[in-house]
């Protein structure tokens, strides 16, 4: 006689308002993920930091032979990696200059070379496809700092401190 195989029981899910719900009422999307945006995993953060390190080294050594990128100091401030590690967005800034947006087409042309450098430096199954964006966080921080030091704000802060 053949043994009877018991099926693994899954937690009961009910559909309510287009959203799957567990027994405890927690909402799940169709893929089983929570509604809130997920934070990057430890692996994503580690790979992103390695990519930033490799890109900073390539830019620092001046290995890119594109005439638009020679003698241009580019700083990679942050890298964000997709959950499958196949796409990476590098946020770049040119310190002291605001013309980094003009260099984005040259960075896009250099992306295959940079991807090859990543493939040599990192031990990943797939070298991530690189995308570049201008990092505006430094400009925003400087703008907020200027606002905080404006005479109107200092006057308002002075009146709250005294009274």
Question: Tens digits of per-residue pLDDT, 15-34?
Answer: 555 555 555 555 545 444 44
Bridge partners of residue 92, in order along the sequence: 76, 134
Predicted model pTM = 0.66
Per-residue model confidence (pLDDT) at position 54: 96
Q: Distances in Å between the alpha carbon of 150 and those of 38, 58, 85, 137, 142?
A: 38, 40, 44, 20, 12
> Chain centroid to CA 126: how far?
18
Q: What is the pLDDT of residues 71-109, one digit of tens each?
A: 888 899 999 999 999 999 999 988 777 688 888 999 999
Question: Which distant-in-sequence residues (6+ apart) come within 8 Å of 142 by Cβ?
Answer: none
**Shortest CA distance to 80 belongs to which of 140, 128, 31?**
128
Residue 20: CB atoms within 10 A of its CB come to 15
Distance from C-alpha of 114 to C-alpha of 74, rounded to nearest angstrom: 14
Asked if 63 contacts 55 with a C-beta cutoff of 8 angstroms, the reply is no
Enumerate domains of the chain plus CATH numbers.
8-38 (no CATH), 42-135 (3.30.300.20)
Share of the chain above pLDDT 70, in %: 74
């Amino acid at each position: 006689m053949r043994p009877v195989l018991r099926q693994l029981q899954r937690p009961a899910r009910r559909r309510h308002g287009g959203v799957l719900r567990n027994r405890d009422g927690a909402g799940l999307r169709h893929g089983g993920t929570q509604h809130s945006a997920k934070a990057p995993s430890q692996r994503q953060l580690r790979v992103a930091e390695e990519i930033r390190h490799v890109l900073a080294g390539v830019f620092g050594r001046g290995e890119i032979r594109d005439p638009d990128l020679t003698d241009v100091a580019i700083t990679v401030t942050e890298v964000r990696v997709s959950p499958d590690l196949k796409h990476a967005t590098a946020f770049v800034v040119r310190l002291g200059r605001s013309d980094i947006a003009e260099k984005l087409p040259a960075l896009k042309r250099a992306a295959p070379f940079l991807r090859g450098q990543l493939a040599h430096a990192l031990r990943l199954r797939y070298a991530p496809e690189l995308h570049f964006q201008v990092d505006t966080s430094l400009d925003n921080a400087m703008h907020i700092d200027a606002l905080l030091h404006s005479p109107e704000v200092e006057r308002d802060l002075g009146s709250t401190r005294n009274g």
